[in-house]
Amino acid sequence: MIISQIVSILFLLIALGIMLIVCLFMRLFIDQLLPDIAIIGILSFSIFLVLLSVWSILNSFDASKKERKVLLTICSLVMLVPCIYFGSNMLTNYSNTFFDKKRWSNKPNKRVYMVDNMLKEYNLKGMSKEEIKGLLGEPTNTEYFKTPNNYVYYLGPERGLKIDSEWLVIEFDNGKVKEFNISRD
């Protein structure tokens, strides 16, 4: 009886550890993730393991059927909260990932979500300054990363920890895009 309780508790701790690691990973990189079946699968499996562990622990203690149901319900609800939070974050950020000229112009803080899609959709290399302005609008008025031969566009708070800002820096040579990169300040 005691061995089964110890095994159940260890099983629970391992499952919670897996779930915590996945949640931390998702929180740090949530802005760069699309709904990824592997992460959702690992999280779902971890939740299943936690529920199984809780059920096993509850069955190994003397508790009435009603008390077990109440505890299992509470544990289930506690585990659903992070799933709903991370899931809604993933879906919200996913809907903002598609490049749209109007949204790019009107919502500078959301550009960080759109920039990867824009760079895949449009080949900036070789474009003229006028073509870049036609696509992305006027460059941001800033001294960050500014040189006489570049355009700088504010993208918003950096993905992940949101400590710094991200910027799209486009370098020109003879009026044509030579290179571009995403920089942090």
Give residue 114's pLDDT. Answer: 86
Residues contacting residue 85 through CB under 8 Å, at least 6 positions apart:
none
Nearest one of 131, 129, 130, 134 to 150, comparing CA atoms: 129
DSSP H/E element including 74: helix 65-95
Q: Of 2-6, 10-14, 100-104, give the range with the top mean pLDDT.
A: 100-104
- Angle, vertex CA 14, rays to CA 52 and CA 80, nearest 5: 55
Token pair listed for 68: 């077990």
Query: Which tokens sit at 159?
Result: 């993905």
**φ/ψ (deg, to 5) at 183:** -120, 155
Contact 74, 84 (CB under 8 A): no
Right CATH for 101-184 from 3.40.50, 3.30.1450, 1.10.357, 3.30.70: 3.30.1450
- Decide if pLDDT at 128 tops 90: yes
Among 18-32, 112-126, 164-178, the minimum mean pLDDT is found in: 18-32
Q: Which residue has better confidence, 147 or 61?
A: 147
Tell me which range, 21-25, 38-42, 137-141, is most confidently predicted by mean pLDDT.
137-141
Ordered by start, the domain boundaries in the chain are 2-95, 101-184
**Number of residues written out for the chain:** 185
